[in-house]
């Protein structure tokens, strides 16, 4: 029996999930997003073109694919409508290839305002939110106040919208924050009209039916494991379960139906926004990683914080997700480093530890192991045996430490710059 395979990030997001899903999709009929919202920025490069997807699954450009936005996703109709328009301008018939869960929650214009007001009020303790209203939307979901995609075809839609909007306006009175919802609201309702063009589905039935029929299904994660609401670096996390367990609740599939779990990681580490980052580099090495790796947020444009690979955090994420295959991204970024470091543990309160602690603050000091750099361009390599010995030693060390094989290595942004082992 076919199962639902999963691809997700093992770090703090921005690992390169869009490219990997795009590369894997020839093997899959169905690609489904299961959590997160338009804070995702999945970059795809092919045929000299580039595109950043925020809500739509990364299989949308593959012929014959079915793309599902699952119930665990939160949707901003403005952003989704803009994304649809840009993809259609590239000659893709999105309506033929995109299905949207009725149970997915909607991000209202006032959700965005609450997000901005709340973040502004935090001052120096701000989370580093993308300010897209995602957190407040999930709050309304768990508070049982939310507006869902299925509501847009209900005769009571406007009544439900106004009720939630007025609740938000009352909430905003506690903040000293000026806002005007009028202009974005017009765009929002235009986006709702776009959504009504699409097939709205009971996604749990549809996804399970695909599995029953023997179709290959790939669940596409957003953000990264270290941003999980339960197991990430709380409170500097996202608002959803980014781990493999989120597939079950975000698509409506049973744990026994999960197959392969592909965990994506960069050969180094990055993070956007505030929060703990033990291996962060504040020197010229960190800046070199940022510039060579073009480490600027696909969604926000913010410079990403950069550092060495954190093996403690990587092993933690592998354990939490039950990863069966690793995918290494952006190995080529470190082509010109004499020495490469990996954090194998931390020093905390005068003791050395090998686990990710409950409170991971600035007092967490990484303990490094050094590797000799490969000092050559690996971008043209197309088989594992062609890699220099120093690079193979780096890969094989990661495999030994995690107990999981590195099945795919990316040496550039394009589809063909990918080595499958």
Up-side HSE of residue 328: CA atoms within 13 Å toward CB? 26
Active site residues: 14, 42
Contact 22, 61 (CB under 8 A): yes
For residue 113, what are the CA distances in angstroms to 35, 54, 78, 335, 340?
Answer: 22, 20, 15, 43, 43
The neighbouring-strand residues paired with 328 are 265, 409
Contact 59, 26 (CB under 8 A): no
For residue 79, what are the CA distances in angstroms to 58, 240, 329?
Answer: 16, 19, 27
Strand locations in 47-92 (E): 49-53, 66-69, 74-75
Helices (H) and strands (E) in the chain, counts: 12, 20
Scanning 100-181, the segments in alpha helix (DSSP H) are 109-122, 134-142, 157-172
CB atoms within 10 A of CB 285: 16
Joined together, the tokens standing for residue 280 give: 């962060």
Contact 317, 225 (CB under 8 A): yes
């Amino acid at each position: 029996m076919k199962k639902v395979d999963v691809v997700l990030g093992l770090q703090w997001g921005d690992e390169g999930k869009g490219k990997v899903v795009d590369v894997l999709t020839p093997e899959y009929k169905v690609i489904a997003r299961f959590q997160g919202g338009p804070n995702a920025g999945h970059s795809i490069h092919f045929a000299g073109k580039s595109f950043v997807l925020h809500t739509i699954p990364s299989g949308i450009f593959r012929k014959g694919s079915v793309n599902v936005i699952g119930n665990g996703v939160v949707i901003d109709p403005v952003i989704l409508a803009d994304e649809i328009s840009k993809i259609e301008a590239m000659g893709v018939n999105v309506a033929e290839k995109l299905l949207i869960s009725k149970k997915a929650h909607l991000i209202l214009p006032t959700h965005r305002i609450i997000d901005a007001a709340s973040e502004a009020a935090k001052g120096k303790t701000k989370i580093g939110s993308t300010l897209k209203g995602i957190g407040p939307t999930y709050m309304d979901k768990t508070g049982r106040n939310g507006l869902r995609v299925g509501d847009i075809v209900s005769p009571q839609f406007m009544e439900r919208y106004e009720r939630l909007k007025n609740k938000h306006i009352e909430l905003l009175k506690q903040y000293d924050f000026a806002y005007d919802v009028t202009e974005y609201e017009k765009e929002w309702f235009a986006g709702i009209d776009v959504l009504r063009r699409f097939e709205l589905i009971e996604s749990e039935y549809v996804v399970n039916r695909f599995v029953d029929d023997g179709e290959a299904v790939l669940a596409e994660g957003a953000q990264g494991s270290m941003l999980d609401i339960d197991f990430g670096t709380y409170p500097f996390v996202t608002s959803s379960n980014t781990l493999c367990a989120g597939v079950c609740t975000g698509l409506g599939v049973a744990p026994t139906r999960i197959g392969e779990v592909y965990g994506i990681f960069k050969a180094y580490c990055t993070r956007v926004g505030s929060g703990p980052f033990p291996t962060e580099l504040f020197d010229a090495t960190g800046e070199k990683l940022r510039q060579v790796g073009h480490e600027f947020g696909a969604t926000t444009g913010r410079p990403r914080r950069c550092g060495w690979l954190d093996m403690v955090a990587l092993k933690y994420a592998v354990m939490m997700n039950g990863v069966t295959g690793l995918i290494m991204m952006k190995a080529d970024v470190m082509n010109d480093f004499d020495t490469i470091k990996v954090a194998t543990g931390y020093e905390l309160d005068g003791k050395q530890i090998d686990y990710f602690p409950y409170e991971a603050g600035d007092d967490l000091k990484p303990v490094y192991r050094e590797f000799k750099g490969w000092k050559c361009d690996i971008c043209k390599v197309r088989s594992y045996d062609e890699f220099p010995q120093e690079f193979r030693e780096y890969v094989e060390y990661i495999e030994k430490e995690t107990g999981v094989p590195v099945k795919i290595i990316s040496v550039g942004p394009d589809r063909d710059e990918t080595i499958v082992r």
